[in-house]
Amino acid sequence: MKKRLALLMALVMMFSLCCFSAPAAFADDEVTLTLWSIATESDSSHQAFVDGIAAFEAEHPGVKIEHVTTENEAYKTKIKAAMSSGEGLPDIFFTWGMGFLGEFVNAGRVYCVDDDYANYADELPEAMTVNVRYDGKMYGVPYTMSLVTLYANMDLLAQVGYDDIPATYEDMIDCCEALKAAGIIPFGVSGKELWCLSEYVEPLVIKSVGGQALRDMYNGEASWNNEGVVKAIEAFEGMVENEYFDPSAAALGNDEVKNNFIAGKYAFYQNGSWNNKDIGEQAQFNVKAGTFPVLDDSIPLYSMIGGPNNTLAVTESSQNKELAVEAAFFLAKFMSDADYKSGANLPCWAADPDAEVNDLIQAAADMASKAEDMVLFGDNFLSADAANTYLDYIGLAYAGDVTPTEYVEGLDADLG
């Protein structure tokens, strides 16, 4: 009896082993790629990612893309920790260009896609790849570009007699005074999130010193101690002192500020063009997208802060590099088109000229086409340490803790 029972148990065990191993045998034919991104369900690009993945899977039977999303700030920590250890890295990951991706490239964690780019060069202009090139080699596939955009509530501006965004700096100041007198807060900004302050400071700086000078400062090839930078910081601190910004700004996060603008609390909101979709769809007033006027008349109006920065890259550790690279290019192209058509952001890839897009994205596209110079956001351009020091100084300027001269001298001393 005992022998029979033992035999029965052995058969049961063998059967269960077969049951569990059978799907694994079938699974050998299926390849799963892992993709990490910040496109959580509330992100304006989420649906485009979902559709892009479905389209790639449909074109590549037996290939599955597992999309793991993490909220923006948490994502930065997650990807840095994974890159640091080199363990558990995905095949494809979302990244920003320049300094952020640069540290991963220097660590040898990112696969060079330079050779593969030749197949897509007709559709992805080389100018769009400048922020993902290190020593001339391309390490990521950009899909959308962003510009700092000045959103204006035209209904509020109309109340103080303006039917367009002020074209000169003096006009802008007059407009702000008129708004203040009418009890309207001119600008919404989050003082809690320093990068939001940089969306005001950087346009002032580029429109005072020009794109090349700003790029040289970021690259450490020119001193920050420049008359134009001092003038820009004076203008910024003047805007704070004159209470052109929401007095509650220091306690508000960017989402709260954006919602306040959408709710009609501010006349202007200056932030990245990735807000086009939310503002365009939710604002119940006449909204216009434009750019801040120049501080120095010799600088072209369309000297813009921004550029191609949303990127997909492939890890060096991927077991399916060829497939991952193909998926990265496919998804980047798909995302570029989908985000443009949905109004989420500007495309890096050749766009469909007949596509019907909303007014805000059209305005952003017009600005991009007129742009005479474009410099990436400072906190993307610089390495992590330098970027945070740089943002600290912007925070100090906002709080009035440094004079414009101390600001430029401090940046020279701390950024080298």
Which residues would be at the binding site for another protein (CB under 8 A)?
76-77, 80-81, 83-84, 103-104, 106-107, 109, 191-192, 247-252, 383-385, 388-389, 392, 395-396, 398-399, 401, 414
CB of 239 to another protein, least distance (A): 17
Nearest CB to another protein, comparing residues 197 and 206: 197
The C-alpha atoms of residue 231 and residue 237 are separated, in whole angstroms, by 10
DSSP 293: P
Residue 141 tokens, joined:
């596939």
In sequence order, the 6+-apart residues with CB closer than 8 A to the CB of 371 are 147, 302, 303, 304
CB of 306 to another protein, least distance (A): 22
Nearest CB to another protein, comparing residues 125 and 400: 400
CB of 97 to another protein, least distance (A): 17
Q: 46: burial class by Cβ within 10 Å (0-12, 13-18, 19+)?
A: middle
The C-alpha atoms of residue 271 and residue 48 are separated, in whole angstroms, by 22
The C-alpha atoms of residue 405 and residue 168 are separated, in whole angstroms, by 25
CB of 208 to another protein, least distance (A): 24
CB of 384 to another protein, least distance (A): 4
CB of 399 to another protein, least distance (A): 5
Angle, to 10 degrees, between the axis of helix 227-241 and the axis of helix 194-209?
Answer: 130
In sequence order, the 6+-apart residues with CB closer than 8 A to the CB of 343 are 276, 277, 280, 281, 357, 358, 360, 361
CB of 146 to another protein, least distance (A): 21
Nearest CB to another protein, comparing residues 161 and 247: 247
Task: Report the alpha-carbon angle 401-404-409, nearest 5.
Answer: 95
Whether 404 contacts 242, CB under 8 Å: no
Nearest CB to another protein, comparing residues 154 and 250: 250
Task: Report the alpha-carbon angle 299-209-172, nearest 5.
Answer: 60
The C-alpha atoms of residue 199 and residue 61 are separated, in whole angstroms, by 44
E strands of 43-104, at which residues? 63-69, 92-95
Nearest CB to another protein, comparing residues 267 and 394: 394
What amino acid occupies position 34? T
Nearest CB to another protein, comparing residues 371 and 386: 386
> Pairing between strand 63-69 and 31-37?
parallel
Nearest CB to another protein, comparing residues 64 and 137: 137
Nearest CB to another protein, comparing residues 79 and 124: 79
CB of 79 to another protein, least distance (A): 11
The C-alpha atoms of residue 175 and residue 156 are separated, in whole angstroms, by 11
